[in-house]
Amino acid sequence: MTHIRPILFAVLLAACGSSSPATSTAAPPSASSLASPSASVAVVATAVPTYSPKAEGFSSKVLVEAPRSLAASTTGLVWIVPGKSSDGSGVSAAVSEKETFTASYQAPVDRQDADTIKAAYLTPDLPPLAAGQYTESLRLVTVQPGGRSSAHMHSGIEGVLVLEGRVLIRSGGNAPMFLAPSQGFYLLPKVPVQLINAGDAVARTLVYSISPAGAPFSTELDQAP
């Protein structure tokens, strides 16, 4: 019996030792465990704000509008360049005392050409427009801090160049996109879109459009994209 007591004491001591704080002996977390956030964190991080489909702090001014005839249906692109057109193509307008731009819808170009490289904004090659009569225009859009356009869609093709500020573009079927000055985007017909001022200063964009003659420039929507 006297031999059993030391054995029992040793067993109890070992059991107590196994319950000591893990921080003193635990191995550091592996790199793989640190690089794998939990699903709940990912859900919180990807939350996207929603916006009212109604315009607020938004204004659009028509700078120039002109008829355009397309004799044939061919692939084209939107080209916005600083200054006035040297060959009379497209539409030109002064945005301010120091800013003048020309924009047009035209056949695809050599993207390595010197004149092409100087373009302020150039879209990819776009699906062809049908032959017929169109209206080309340039507009200056101004959005106040915290403001936005209405949710809307266009009857034709639109190319947009950011002149000032930071904007958020939400459009149907595309991920939200933030753009800074000298960046641009384009829209195909009947794609829902909304432009939001994502900065703390006034945002300005130059909007070129080519729409079927007689069709409305844009149609407002009841739901934001």
Q: Could you tell me the CATH number of the domain that includes residue 171?
A: 2.60.120.10
Question: Which domain does 141 fall in, by range?
Answer: 56-220
Residue 47 pLDDT: 55
- Domain membership of residue 12 (yes or no) is no
The pLDDT of residue 185 is above 80? yes
Residues 67 and 164: their CA atoms lie apart, in Å, by 29
- Domain membership of residue 210 (yes or no) is yes
How many domains, in total, are found in the chain?
1
- Domain membership of residue 168 (yes or no) is yes
Residues 200 and 203: their CA atoms lie apart, in Å, by 9
- Domain membership of residue 76 (yes or no) is yes
Residue 48 pLDDT: 58
The number of CA neighbours under 13 Å toward the Cβ of 218 is: 19
**Strand, helix or coil at 1?**
coil
User: Please, are residues 210 and 105 in contact by the beta-carbon 8 Å criterion?
Assistant: yes
- The percent of residues in the chain predicted with pLDDT above 70, rounded, is 78
- Domain membership of residue 44 (yes or no) is no
Average pLDDT, the chain: 83
What's this model's pTM, rounded to 2 decimal places? 0.77
- Kindly state the average pLDDT of the residues 93-99: 93
Q: φ, ψ for residue 217 (rounded to 5)?
A: -60, -45
For 39-48, what is each residue's pLDDT tens digit? 333 444 445 5
Query: What six digits make up the tokens of 177?
Result: 């996109």
